[in-house]
Structure 1
Amino acid sequence: MPHNNEKNLHLVNFNQLKLEQLQQHITDALDNGLAFLAMLDEEKQNNEKTCETAEQALNDITAFEHVNIALDRSWGLLSHLNSVVSTDEIRELHHSLLPKISDYGTQVGQHQILFSRYRQVIDNQDFFEKLDPARKRALTLSLQGFELSGVALADDKKAEFAKLSSELSTLSAKFSDNLLDATQSYFLPLVESQLSGLPQSALAMLKDAGERYRTKFNQSTATLYVATLDIPVYLAVMTYADDRDLREKLYRAYVTRASEKSEQTEFNNANIMVQILAKREQKAKILGFDNYAEVSLATKMADDVATVEKFLRDLANKATPYAKADVKTLQTEGLAFDIDELKPWDTAYLAEKVRERKFNLSQEAVRPYFPLPKVIDGLFEIVQRLYGVNIVEKTQDVERWHDEVRFYQLFDEYEQLLGGFYFDLYARTGKRGGAWMSGFQARYQSADGAYHQLPVCFMVGNFSPAIDGKPSLLTHDEVLTLFHEFGHGLHHLLTEISISDVAGVNGVEWDAVELPSQFMENWAWHKDGIALISGHVDTGETLPNEMLKAMLNAKNFQSGMQTLRQLEFALFDLLLHSQSQAVDYQGILDLLDSVRADVAVMPATDYNRFANSFSHIFAGGYACGYYSYKWAELLSADAFDRFETDGIFNQNTGKIFREEILAKGGSRSAKENFEAFRERPADIDALLRHSGFYEEILSDNINNTQSW
């Protein structure tokens, strides 16, 4: 295949990368950005009429964009290394530069003269209308960004706004620290009788925690096993432990983390939450909004609070009968285990018993059918069939940050290079947990055409590594994770936009960015997709039909309860931020109770302090945005519905999805992209069907729960 534009990948020589060199690159990039802003200020002082035309103003804007490419690249690289090969040295450098990056962002967002350049282009209607649609969208989004950064405020209000922003970032970091410390300071040494029901994989985690406990406290324990609140350990105990008292004890510790009800009250987040809400409200009021929800939704696909609330409550009404049926199933199962009254610490345990009995399904039995190399080959084949792109491994030709990392290039149907991506898929020390796609380098071309970069991304997972000469074997959940992140990767890589602010995932509304990723998961559920991605590690046999049938039958088991749980969190978040005045701690708890009264089918315990650990909204980017998960799920289900009708490998449908959604990225609104693909507004029916919400399910006939 031709390598005519391989230089435009601008790959990093990881083996030669030195931290001090990276620090210098970041510092130089910040200095260059600030120097550009200073030059604009100086021009203004020396001559009021320096920028006389909209064309000159646009030249300044594109020149500044080019200056910032270096910062995006160097800072993105350090952030990446801090996530995948973190050391004390890397973390220290990252944390020391973070305030400078934040301060630079504030200065850019509040720079009056740079802002006036954008205004000048947009206000000149004749000139603006002649621009490329992607450029118009990038300018409009940037203008909105300036306004939400407080650029139009008086100087004293600007300073107040900047101070609030800085204080909020500190408070969010403190919320995270408290939650982490509260989680990691809890240890519960176990006695022999408490181990009943726990599988080998769970015991291995508990044993590892036991070794840490004995080393840390220099104490002996009755057994080798110690329970903690780390999520894999917690879920294993709640799912498998036969000892009901143990489950209740661990549940209480988990739901009271970082609260006044915890044994470690020094990590209480109550006051921090109140301060965060108050400062967000102050920011909103300074900007002229009634509440923080309006600030958050200003940049999202959903129109307003009322639209989101109606969506959430309508879905809750649809899910409630199925959630009640789920509860009834668990209550019936509980009788076999002498559980007369169903409690929150029983649900995961009894659900697993139902899965084993009713669906004859175990994640461990499925694992040998999904060796990672086979799954990857099948994934690439699916992408080739859908979008006509070929993926070629080039690992040996590039330098990587770790030996396990693999590198690939994407070519279109005309053998033109589209971009490249790295796979870093195995768990190891010094790597943060979870899975993510990092759009390290967006597609971009300078205004003069002299510099061009193709998209490059990092796709990261934490699967178990290959052992004993056998490849990594994935659970089906892990297969879904790989497909999900690859959906994000394709969104980044298949863009045809060369303005980096709206290329790929950039500029896509927060509540729509999960569409391509959730959408991609569908092929890992369909029998025709399974045929390509499964092959038994010893025999090569594809996943048997009866196992797939069991998986599909179990897929929507407890879908009602899980949906209501998500909606409870989303409604609480929405209502918390749409109040016109911030609430005190008791007000936060009361609001959560009232939401539960509206939508929950399982009563919560009076000591439950979920809000104190809700880091998505208090320490992440999801404030008044938690609803996005369900919103994007509606879009992805409705998009896949067209493939279900046309054929899941229909090349024409794949071509339209690529052209209208993946290729366009953020260059149009998500609503325009979606409606260009579906030729109509989004519809909830496919989401309800994919969730198993249709009448037949309410009978006991499990064969009706199949989705395909």
Structure 2
Amino acid sequence: MSNPLLATQGLPAFSQIRPEQIEPAIDQLLQDNRDTVARILSSLSTPDWDSLVAPLEEMNDRLSKAWSPVSHMNGVVNSDALREAYNACLPKLSQYWTEMGQNQEMFQAFQQLADSEAFAQLDEAQQKVVNNTLRDFRLSGIALQGEDKQRYAELQQRLSELTTRFSENVMDASDDWQKSIQDEADLAGLPPMALAAAKQLAEMKGKQGWLVTLDFPSYIATITYADNRELRKEIYTAFATRASDQGPGKGQWDNTAVMEEILTLRQALARLLGFDNYSEYSLATKMAETPQQVTDFLHDLAEKSLPVARRDYQQLCDFAREQHGIEQLEAWDLAYYSEKLKQARYAISEEQIRPYFPLPKVLSGLFAVAGKLFGIEISEVDSFDSWHKDARLFEVSRKGERIARFYLDLYAREKKRGGAWMDDCRVRRRLDDGALQLPVAYLVCNFNSPVGDAPALLTHNEVTTLFHEFGHGLHHMLTQIEYADVSGINGVAWDAVELPSQFLENWCYEPEALGLISGHYETGEPLPQDLLDKLLAARNFQSGMMMVRQIEFSLFDFRLHQEFVPGQTDVQQLLNEVRDQVAVIKPPAFNRFQHSFSHIFAGGYAAGYYSYKWAEVLSSDAFSRFEEEGVFSPEAGQDFRSYILEMGGSREPMDLFIAFRGREPNVDALLRHCGITEENA
């Protein structure tokens, strides 16, 4: 029987995937894999790469290619039937991976390979695969016996279900809230593009007037520009209380108990494996060696940033009071008056420069930047099997040879998970028949869709987001490694995985690159020099406040997973403690930020959110080489491609960074790029 999830060995056949087919197709694949494992182990005499590792890689890649489009569609075109099928498969996949991770015979075969003379004949990447696999066996409870082994399987299965429920609750709570507005005066202050988008959204829903929602483009436009303070308060309250016990939807999709159980089970999992807490367990696969290193790093950054952050906040309060008569800034006022202060100080706003960043120009410029830096060409594929009319497909080539492909899905819509992300669709690897499987990536954002005849117009922040995700994509697509487990972003320490993405953001501020990515959507006129000067001058506006906000999230996440005691730790109280230490802004008591903190409760950043700040140190220091040699230095670009992008997870990230930069990283470049200096404080 053919498997509908493997209809093509090239690209996924999204249109052929039916929710009712998913569970039986996954069941078939899991059984096939179990049979394959039994066959490999029964015929194994002396383990080597070809008899042990290669067939397991082939088997796992087959499963990955089947599950990838299902998981992707669940995030971007969610439906009740698809969600039900997806959730039905999660416990089966969790059980399968637990079985694989606790297969004693397989573990012993890998250990035998690692101890053999044949191991020395493997190349560096192959050795990394074997060593990583042995590490992962230990982290999967290979040493557990009897009831403990069963307990591990139960914990993993339940955590898989809970993290998915957390994400679903956030999506459902976000989709539920919307506000229909009949009087345009209530939306005074909103830029024309935001008004047109709200009008178009109402029309799509068959409503009169304008529609404001919690989709990020709608939310951020309203909270930043709406003169109506009550409207700002209303949408802030709805956004800040999603999936919680507070706000307009209180209790309906409440993640309180979900968070509590996730944290409880994570601590139990860590203890079962011999770690004191989940933060220690998390660091087993990261660059940082101890929890103390992480907290010291964050507190050091906070100490350097807080004086600048306090100055930023005081200036905002003074401005709101002196210029607008606001004696007490509320949470729903911060973005609004920050934007007014930015305009007053630099005579520039995101909306003012939006017309200069039409999506077609930004994309062509992004591809040109990547081409100059890394010697690649990118072209669009006109016809392909898609999940939505907004999705697009591109090919990446080098010297006329195709080396990768990627999908783009850039616009916000209902039943699509919020935020922006890159995920892998196919990984680069050498197949059994000698052919090379090329990498394929998904790149997803949530921008405003085009309004009327105009193309989608991006804010500079959105341009930066697109560059960020494309940096992740390049890490996946430009790899030269041919073993799946260390190809692309696979096997890369989590606190180094943000290096390429944050690195690429730097070109959004470089005049030479801005000339490529900007052009007025009506006239084609490049971003005028005066606006460019203002954009660059405003780059570090409130950078101190933004820095300590990220440190707040990072410390909260790390301490929560380090200190959590079931039934004793009050999550809100711990967050308040962190805010007392490092925050300059205290949200209102009803704020439930943690209830929609999907990065740590539904993503891969549990006890790892600090990775964003650590990778910023790496990316700023890496970019400083381009500042020294030229922002389009072919030598620096080739070295970054060779040492960082092409190597995947085949070597330790610190070794690769030193190979590129000539030394270990330091924090100075990050602080300089952010304008966090003693004189600025």
Q: TM-score, normalised by structure 1?
A: 0.87
After TM superposition, list the pairs within 5 Å mapping 1:21-100 onto structure 2: 26-39=26-39, 43=42, 51-55=44-48, 59-100=51-92
Task: Name the aligned partner's letter for residue 423 of structure 1.
Answer: L
CA contact (8 A) 1:58 1:118 kept: no
> Deviation at 1:86?
4.5
> Deviation at 1:570?
0.8
> Deviation at 1:596?
1.4
**Candidates 600, 614, 626, aligned match of 2:583:** 600
- Report the equivalent of 1:347: 334
**Candidates 427, 430, 443, aligned match of 1:445:** 430
Q: Deviations over 1:539-598 (max 9, x none)?
A: 32211111111112222111111111111111111111112x515466323322221111
Worse overlay, 455-464 or 107-116: 455-464
- Report the equivalent of 1:386: 373
Task: Name the aligned partner's letter for residue 299 of structure 1.
Answer: T
Worse overlay, 505-514 or 356-365: 356-365
2:627 corresponds to 1:644: yes
- Report the equivalent of 2:353: 366
2:616 corresponds to 1:623: no
Tell me the secondary structure at the aligned position of residue 439 of structure 1.
Answer: strand
Distance, in Å, in 1 between the alignment partners of 2:302 and 2:595 is 24
CA contact (8 A) 1:393 1:408 kept: yes
Distance, in Å, in 2 between the alignment partners of 1:182 and 1:534 is 36
Task: Name the aligned partner's letter for residue 121 of structure 2.
Answer: K
Worse overlay, 181-190 or 456-465: 181-190
CA contact (8 A) 2:429 2:437 kept: yes
> Deviation at 1:666?
0.6
- Report the equivalent of 1:114: 106
Tell me the secondary structure at the aligned position of residue 289 of structure 1.
Answer: coil
CA contact (8 A) 1:9 1:455 kept: no
Tell me the secondary structure at the aligned position of residue 300 of structure 1.
Answer: coil
Distance, in Å, in 1 between the alignment partners of 2:558 and 2:494 is 15
**Candidates 483, 498, 511, aligned match of 2:467:** 483
**Candidates 320, 341, 352, aligned match of 1:334:** 320
- Sort the Cα spacing of 1:478 and 1:346 in 2 relative to 1 into closer, same or farther, 3 A: closer
- Sort the Cα spacing of 1:228 and 1:482 in 2 relative to 1 into closer, same or farther, 3 A: closer
- Report the equivalent of 1:318: 304
- Report the equivalent of 2:221: 236
Total equivalences in the alignment: 671
Worse overlay, 432-441 or 486-495: 432-441
> Deviation at 1:68?
2.0
**Candidates 520, 537, 543, aligned match of 1:553:** 537
Task: Name the aligned partner's letter for residue 52 of structure 2.
Answer: D
After TM superposition, list the pairs within 5 Å mapping 1:166-185 onto structure 2: 166-184=157-175
Structure number with greater Rg is 1
**Candidates 654, 673, 680, aligned match of 1:690:** 673
> Deviation at 1:405?
4.2
Task: Name the aligned partner's letter for residue 163 of structure 2.
Answer: S
Gaps of 5+ in 2: 1-7
Task: Name the aligned partner's letter for residue 91 of structure 2.
Answer: P
Q: Deviations over 1:147-183 (max 9, x none)?
A: 1111220021010111112222333334344444554
CA contact (8 A) 2:392 2:409 kept: yes
Worse overlay, 354-363 or 664-673: 354-363
Distance, in Å, in 1 between the alignment partners of 2:221 and 2:182 is 17
- Report the equivalent of 1:277: 263
2:636 corresponds to 1:653: yes
CA contact (8 A) 1:182 1:267 kept: yes
Task: Name the aligned partner's letter for residue 651 of structure 1.
Answer: P
Worse overlay, 102-111 or 346-355: 102-111
- Sort the Cα spacing of 1:343 and 1:77 in 2 relative to 1 into closer, same or farther, 3 A: closer
- Sort the Cα spacing of 1:282 and 1:466 in 2 relative to 1 into closer, same or farther, 3 A: closer
CA contact (8 A) 1:61 1:117 kept: no
- Sort the Cα spacing of 1:463 and 1:613 in 2 relative to 1 into closer, same or farther, 3 A: closer
Distance, in Å, in 2 between the alignment partners of 1:208 and 1:471 is 14
Distance, in Å, in 2 between the alignment partners of 1:253 and 1:459 is 28
Distance, in Å, in 2 between the alignment partners of 1:452 and 1:497 is 11
- Report the equivalent of 2:483: 499
Distance, in Å, in 1 between the alignment partners of 2:403 and 2:576 is 51
Gaps of 5+ in 1: 1-7, 44-49, 216-222, 699-708
CA contact (8 A) 1:511 1:631 kept: yes
Task: Name the aligned partner's letter for residue 66 of structure 1.
Answer: E
CA contact (8 A) 1:58 1:121 kept: no
Distance, in Å, in 1 between the alignment partners of 2:256 and 2:389 is 44
Worse overlay, 177-186 or 385-394: 177-186
> Deviation at 1:339?
1.3
**Candidates 640, 649, 655, aligned match of 1:666:** 649
- Sort the Cα spacing of 1:429 and 1:248 in 2 relative to 1 into closer, same or farther, 3 A: closer
> Deviation at 1:482?
2.2
Task: Name the aligned partner's letter for residue 113 of structure 2.
Answer: V
Task: Name the aligned partner's letter for residue 297 of structure 2.
Answer: F
- Sort the Cα spacing of 1:423 and 1:322 in 2 relative to 1 into closer, same or farther, 3 A: same
2:420 corresponds to 1:435: yes
- Report the equivalent of 2:156: 165
> Deviation at 1:427?
4.6
- Sort the Cα spacing of 1:242 and 1:675 in 2 relative to 1 into closer, same or farther, 3 A: same
Tell me the secondary structure at the aligned position of residue 461 of structure 2.
Answer: helix
Tell me the secondary structure at the aligned position of residue 91 of structure 2.
Answer: helix
Worse overlay, 309-318 or 594-603: 594-603
Distance, in Å, in 2 between the alignment partners of 1:344 and 1:542 is 36
Task: Name the aligned partner's letter for residue 436 of structure 1.
Answer: W
- Sort the Cα spacing of 1:374 and 1:214 in 2 relative to 1 into closer, same or farther, 3 A: closer
Tell me the secondary structure at the aligned position of residue 424 of structure 2.
Answer: strand
Q: Deviations over 1:251-299 (max 9, x none)?
A: 4454444444546245443333332222211111110111111111111
Worse overlay, 192-201 or 62-71: 192-201
- Report the equivalent of 1:591: 574
Tell me the secondary structure at the aligned position of residue 420 of structure 1.
Answer: strand
CA contact (8 A) 1:421 1:458 kept: yes
Tell me the secondary structure at the aligned position of residue 630 of structure 1.
Answer: helix
Q: Deviations over 1:312-342 (max 9, x none)?
A: 1111111111111111211111112221133
CA contact (8 A) 1:9 1:456 kept: no
Distance, in Å, in 2 between the alignment partners of 1:627 and 1:388 is 32
CA contact (8 A) 1:14 1:400 kept: yes
Distance, in Å, in 1 between the alignment partners of 2:421 and 2:201 is 26
- Report the equivalent of 1:706: none
CA contact (8 A) 2:405 2:441 kept: yes
- Sort the Cα spacing of 1:323 and 1:63 in 2 relative to 1 into closer, same or farther, 3 A: same
> Deviation at 1:422?
3.1
- Sort the Cα spacing of 1:536 and 1:272 in 2 relative to 1 into closer, same or farther, 3 A: closer
- Sort the Cα spacing of 1:182 and 1:92 in 2 relative to 1 into closer, same or farther, 3 A: closer
Distance, in Å, in 2 between the alignment partners of 1:151 and 1:605 is 46
- Sort the Cα spacing of 1:282 and 1:681 in 2 relative to 1 into closer, same or farther, 3 A: same
Q: Deviations over 1:631-688 (max 9, x none)?
A: 1111111111100100011111111111101110110111111111111111111111
Q: TM-score, normalised by structure 2?
A: 0.90
- Report the equivalent of 2:122: 131
- Report the equivalent of 1:417: 402
CA contact (8 A) 2:279 2:562 kept: yes
Worse overlay, 492-501 or 241-250: 241-250
CA contact (8 A) 2:22 2:85 kept: no
Identity, in percent, stands at 44
